[in-house]
Structure 1
């Protein structure tokens, strides 16, 4: 191998390692340790029609440590329905989803958490 070829090889390896490490740092930035089975179990579900007795939206945001990664809101029969998802990892494979009626939890689901 010539000196020029070895130089390209070294630069290529450094570039690949840099991209890999940079990608790992991005995942670390979005990792949310609050998205856990333990915290999911702390969410109380209220009445399915009114939400009465359920954990509030604000309490769930505090429990998860930040606003949801995804949030959808709609009006239905005079009530506001919110679907909110919090991801644990940067890829969305591990998440908690909570449904709220008029600001109170009525449904919850998790995927990928142990």
Structure 2
């Protein structure tokens, strides 16, 4: 699918997947061409993650999701040094997105260029 977007002029792709920061080289190879990956890991404290999960999970499923979240956080902590970390605690989606855009320097591109 990315080949089609690239063919019509798109040059930026945001890939969202929790473990994608552990598979940067593999993802870049799958996309093909001249790829400059910029892996970003969004983080939250265990307390924040548990609170967020509590807003969408109920009953016994909540404990299971919290346990999985804690295990994933430990695994993701092993991401290599090329991964940029963005803490999300007590921040709005707009604040987090703005920080990611500044880190990637996508805001340096002419206004109106959405590709």
TM-score, normalisation: structure 1: 0.24
Higher relative contact order, chain-length normalized (CA < 8 Å, sep 6+): 2
Larger fraction in strand: 1
Larger fraction in helix: 2
* Larger radius of gyration between Structure 1 and Structure 2: 1
TM-score, normalisation: structure 2: 0.24
